Amino acid sequence: MKVLTDFAGYIFHRVTQTADEVTPDILDWKPVEEANSIYWILVHMTRIAYLLIPQLLTGTYNPEGWDDDYEQQKHSLSELRDDLAKAKTQALSLLNELNESQLEEEIVIWGSKRLLKEPVFVLLGELLHHNGQISMLIGMNKRANQ
């Protein structure tokens, strides 16, 4: 599963780079009122990385260190970065422990049977997708303030 772990590592590297580009003054910025802020997206990404990936791979409800009301709490940019770093370590460790046959096992998720690898791909794709959203918002904010 080296390729999968390498790809996940690449995604988390990109997420870390992008989170490092965020500054506190743009954390709550959004181009229109209906849009999600960078803060909201970072919290959502943290939930995917820290909660959903471990839930999927371990079958546990909440991994150690996750608060049920995480999304309702206010977090500093530093806390979000730290939580994403912890999530990266945990997720890569769990992915590294998988073998090919485990990824091919059927699980029940989203109302049907699927191979384990499918939701793994979806969750990693979500991280990459939301990372792109933050990059776009950073660029839009720069242009709007020139």
Return per-residue pLDDT of the chain as tens, 146 residues: 689 999 999 999 999 999 999 999 999 999 999 999 999 999 999 999 999 999 999 987 776 667 778 888 999 999 999 999 999 999 999 999 999 999 999 999 999 999 999 999 999 999 999 999 999 999 999 998 87
**At 105, which CATH number?**
1.20.120.450
CA neighbor of 135 nearest in space, from 35, 41, 6: 41
pLDDT on residue 65: 67
Residues 6+ apart with CB under 8 A from 48: 123, 126, 127, 130
Its domain, for residue 99, covers: 2-144
Number of domains in the chain: 1
CA neighbor of 51 nearest in space, from 70, 37, 36: 70
pLDDT on residue 14: 97
85: left (phi over 0), alpha (psi -120 to 50) or beta: alpha
pLDDT on residue 6: 95
pLDDT on residue 59: 84
Angle at 120 between CA 35 and CA 129, to 5 degrees: 25
